[in-house]
Amino acid sequence: MARLFVESLTTIDCAVLDPLRGLAGNSLVVDVELGGALDDQSMVLDFRDVKQRLKRAIDDAVDHRLLVPRRLASVGLHLTGKRCALAFEAAAGAYEYLAPAVAVAALDTARITPTVLVQFLLPRVASVLPRSVDDVVLKLRTANPRGAVYHYTHGLQKHGGHCQRLGHGHRSRVCIHVDGRRDAVLEREWAAVWDGVHLGTRQDLLECHAGQLRFGYDSGEGRYELAVPEARCRLIDGPSTVERLAEHIAQTLAQQHRGQCIEVRAYEGTGKGGLASARI
């Protein structure tokens, strides 16, 4: 049997319901191996087709979605037509979610793990492959394995793509330089502040009641609302694009380190992000 591989085929930027942390953003890099008979080009499958077919199948299934463990007792999920309603109790507090059904992927499990996610994806990937490909291996690995990282969720109302989905998330790295020198302590401190939180846009805040913040907006896909524990949220002025997040970090740290130049490299998932600098 001939085999091929593609590293970093795609990155899954998603959110996961976790019984301890609540709503947690994550980013997972997907590597793939395919095995089968060679075609008339002496290929298992043209790399162009691998990248187009498999990437689309994976992205459509889980990218920029909230991954819901349907069997978790504290999850109440109702899918009606093109809408979904979700209530979730975690150790971190209570969450509520109203969204188009396309923003959610429900998995038949009590806990979302990389192994469970691979099993969910395999039949979807296999369905877009020719019969000559009879072995598929998917491997998920953590994006940004080194350095200070934080897991966050957000949503961008005006985005024309999947980033409009309120409640999707990322696992992101942050690099901070003070007067040209890397400051790993500041990086860890900032990552701790934003780890496991929802970065909510202040203009999208609908109400604050009983220890919960409720956000909502209408986007191209439809109506979104998300209620999160106040302690698991940080408010941002303006849209929570990674460019804005980098500016927010730089300006906040410049206030704390007056007279020094703060440079921030904030990632959104893996391999991309925003740059900002500030001095006060």
H-helix or E-strand containing 261? none
Angstrom distance (rounded) from CA 102 to CA 61? 9
- Maximum CA extent, the chain: 66
- Smallest CA-to-CA distance from 162 within 82, 68, 64, 83 is with 64
pLDDT at site 144: 62
Helices 55-62 and 114-126, interaxial angle, to 10°?
130
Q: Where are the domains of the chain?
A: 2-170+200-235
Rounded to two decimals, what is the model's pTM?
0.93
Q: Tell me, which fold does domain 2-170+200-235 have in CATH?
A: Tetrahydropterin Synthase; Chain A (3.30.479)
Summarize pLDDT for 110-139 with one digit per residue, the tens: 999 999 999 999 999 999 999 999 999 999
**Tokens 């740059």 sit on residue:** 275
Angstrom distance (rounded) from CA 52 to CA 72? 34
pLDDT at site 1: 81
Phi first, then psi: what are they for 148, rounded to 5°?
A: -80, 125
Do the Cβ atoms of 77 and 66 come closer than 8 Å? no
- Running DSSP on this structure, what letter comes out for residue 101? G
Average pLDDT score over residue span 197-217: 96
Angstrom distance (rounded) from CA 162 to CA 103? 8
Do the Cβ atoms of 193 and 65 come closer than 8 Å? no
When comparing pLDDT for 38 and 234, which is higher? 234
Summarize pLDDT for 64-82 with one digit per residue, the tens: 999 999 999 999 999 988 9
pLDDT at site 43: 86
Confidence bin at 280 (pLDDT 50/70/90): confident
Confidence bin at 145 (pLDDT 50/70/90): low
Average pLDDT score over residue span 7-21: 95
Tokens for 205, please give them.
Answer: 């805040």
pLDDT at site 112: 95
Angstrom distance (rounded) from CA 31 to CA 140? 6
- Smallest CA-to-CA distance from 152 within 204, 89, 194 is with 194
pLDDT at site 243: 97
Average pLDDT score over residue span 76-97: 94
Distances 174 to 81, 97, 239 between C-alpha atoms, Å: 40, 28, 19
Per-chain mean pLDDT for the chain: 95
